[in-house]
Amino acid sequence: MEMMKCVIKEKAGAGNLKLTTRPIPEIGDCDILVKVLAAAVCGTDVHIQDWNEWAAKRLTPPSIIGHEFAGEVVKTGKNVKNVKIGDIVSAETHIVCHTCDLCRNGYEHVCYNTSTIGVARDGCFAEYISIPAENAFVCDPKIPIEVLSMMEPLGAAVHAVMEFPVAAKTVAVVGCGPIGTMAVAVAKQVGAAKVIAVEPNEKRAALAVELGADVVVNPIAVDPVEKIKELTGGLGVDVVLEFSGNIYGIKAAIQYLKPEGKLAALGLPSKPIDFDLAEFVYRGLTLKGIAGRLMYQTWEQMKGLLAGGLDVSKVVTHILPLEEYEEGLRLMKAGECSKVILKPF
Ligand SMILES: NC(=O)c1ccc[n+]([C@@H]2O[C@H](COP(=O)([O-])OP(=O)(O)OC[C@H]3O[C@@H](n4cnc5c(N)ncnc54)[C@H](O)[C@@H]3O)[C@@H](O)[C@H]2O)c1
Ligand SMILES: [Zn+2]
Ligand SMILES: [Zn+2]
């Protein structure tokens, strides 16, 4: 049996990650085997390491972690038609049922029966991964593999930006971690008039400017509500894209909006938040949760954006060998990076 190196969550509890070897996975008739050339570290991987409530409910160790990746197709099942050996692919991480009412109504991204790569099944912090061919997305091989490994989080950013029209509008991007930073670039590319990035981490704020933010607001150094009013002639913004998941960040974000403003919320707060619904109603505001990526409209939009010159390569701040996954997770936890990419080969 041919073996591969991989990172597993060995057992429940904090820590318990281990670099080990496992057999190269078998594939079914509708699956493909991908040689992982780059895998990106996500906040979710940190949650799995820390074993928070979310992770404890969804993982059954031992299993291989990691879900953001790109690689080369090295084997295809006999029924596979959309992908061929040698293709460079990335992947949608949600494996869905196609039979529930949500799937049948075009809402696959919130399918009741979703199984997520690197969470409910073996992931990509490994030399090889087996995935259903339908989840593969064939990429332009001219784009650097590190960038292609971020297609899944880029898709989350694109989904949020595309939810409400942003062309010719004033947009606040709240929280410039990797996803918010990519959203800044996407919003500019699709024609936002002004993008105001709100981010307390100076390094990340500087990166948001490099990706196209017109101005950054540090919500710790200044009152962000006052500052945003000042930057918008007292009016507020048309659209808020929320990527901080921070309770104070979200509450302030509601105040950034002008009447009839739209808030697309993607960041995940750890606790429920309260806000004044009467005021929300009175001002005619809209709030929309953004879960994952539309399957597969968001992926097609990404293809178009990348073909049109979208460049998010600066979001890659660190490239490490797979063996140094612990350093990658540490950088993420400390906020000392934007995206950390692991290379198994
Ligand atoms: N909805 C989905 O499908 C989905 C998918 C992936 C990630 N997420 C969530 O999206 C969020 C963004 O993920 P990420 O990978 O970019 O990383 P992240 O969590 O590192 O980014 C959050 C950023 O918000 C900043 N921040 C903290 N407090 C703030 C405040 N008060 N105002 C403005 N910014 C503030 C942080 O400094 C950080 O840079 C996370 O909450 C993550 O859990 C959601
Ligand atoms: Zn992720
Ligand atoms: Zn379904």
Q: Do the Cβ atoms of 66 and 7 come closer than 8 Å?
A: yes
Residue-wise pLDDT for 157-192, tens only, equals 999 999 999 999 999 999 999 999 999 999 999 999
CA 246 vs CA 125, 243, 252: distances in Å: 28, 8, 10
Q: What percent of the chain has pLDDT over 70?
A: 100
DSSP conformation letters of 174-210: E--SHHHHHHHHHHHHTTBSEEEEE-S-HHHHHHHHH
Q: What percent of the chain has pLDDT over 90?
A: 99
Neighbours of 105 (CB within 10 A): 8
Residues identified as active-site: 44, 47
Residue 323 and residue 17: Cα distance in Å, rounded? 12
pLDDT at 270: 87
**What separation in Å is there between the alpha carbon of 293 and the centre of ligand 2?**
11
Residue 203: which pLDDT band, with cuts at 50, 70 and 90? very high
Nearest CA to 137 out of 120, 122, 110, 117 is that of 117
In the predicted structure, residue 1 carries a pLDDT above the cut 90: no
Which residue in the block uniquely carries the two structure tokens 């949650």? 47
Q: Quote the strand ranges of 101-245, DSSP E.
A: 115-116, 128-132, 136-138, 170-174, 194-198, 215-217, 237-242
Antiparallel, parallel or unpaired: β 3-9 and 17-23: antiparallel
Residue 89 and residue 85: Cα distance in Å, rounded? 10
**What separation in Å is there between the alpha carbon of 79 and the centre of ligand 3?**
21
Beta-bridged to residue 239, according to DSSP, are 171, 262
Q: Do the Cβ atoms of 188 and 204 come closer than 8 Å?
A: no
**What separation in Å is there between the alpha carbon of 44 and the centre of ligand 2?**
6
Residue 208 and residue 195: Cα distance in Å, rounded? 10
Residue 227 and residue 212: Cα distance in Å, rounded? 19
Residue-wise pLDDT for 55-107, tens only, equals 999 999 999 999 999 999 999 999 999 999 999 999 999 999 999 999 999 99
pLDDT at 292: 97
Residue 293 and residue 152: Cα distance in Å, rounded? 8
Residue 246 and residue 177: Cα distance in Å, rounded? 12
Q: Which of 109, 216, 243 to mutate to test the pocket of ligand 1 (most atoms within 8 A of CB)?
A: 243
3-state DSSP assignment of residue 160: helix
**What separation in Å is there between the alpha carbon of 75 and the centre of ligand 1?**
36
Q: What is the mean pLDDT of residues 5-17?
A: 97
Query: Atom 10 of ligand 1 has which residue's CA nearest to it?
Result: 267
Query: Atom 5 of ligand 1 has which residue's CA nearest to it?
Result: 292
Q: Residues lining ligand 1, judged by CB closer than 6 Å?
A: 43, 156, 174-180, 198-201, 204, 219, 243-246, 248-249, 266-268, 290-292, 335
Q: State the pTM of this model.
A: 0.97
Q: What is the mean pLDDT of residues 250-259?
A: 97
Is the peptide bond prior to 61 cis by the omega test (within 30 degrees of 0)?
A: no
Query: Atom 20 of ligand 1 has which residue's CA nearest to it?
Result: 177
pLDDT at 209: 98
Q: Do the Cβ atoms of 328 and 340 come closer than 8 Å?
A: yes
3-state DSSP assignment of residue 166: coil
What does the block give as tokens for 136? 């593969």
- From the CA of 118, which ligand is nearest? 2
